[in-house]
Amino acid sequence: MSEKVITLPNRDEMLERLLKVDDNSHTQEGFYPILLKQAGQERVAQGIVMMLALAIHNYVEGMPPFMANLMYMLAPDFIDALVSDAETAKEAKNFLREALSATK
């Protein structure tokens, strides 16, 4: 596993990319603000997955349990939207897949 560091998009670019994945108003008002706090920060592949996992956890708190599953279904698309480097995106999605399979 490489430890290639990528820089997340700035806030405006990040929001624009996230909206292409899901433009649902509830997601825009609740989930995206959590992620946007990370705009412009540096991350390795594993850090991207951890960032998404924590954002999903915070977002779905108090919601029906299936909401986390729905968000995790979109996670690979969020990774593709946020990570321009194809190698790092692939590594992050592999880490996500491994992490999710370990919880089953």
User: Where do the domains of the chain lie?
Assistant: 6-102
pLDDT at 103 over 70: yes
pTM: 0.93
Q: Which helix (H) or strand (E) holds 28?
A: helix 25-30
Residue 91 pLDDT class (50, 70, 90 cuts)? very high
Residue whose tokens read 């990319």: 17
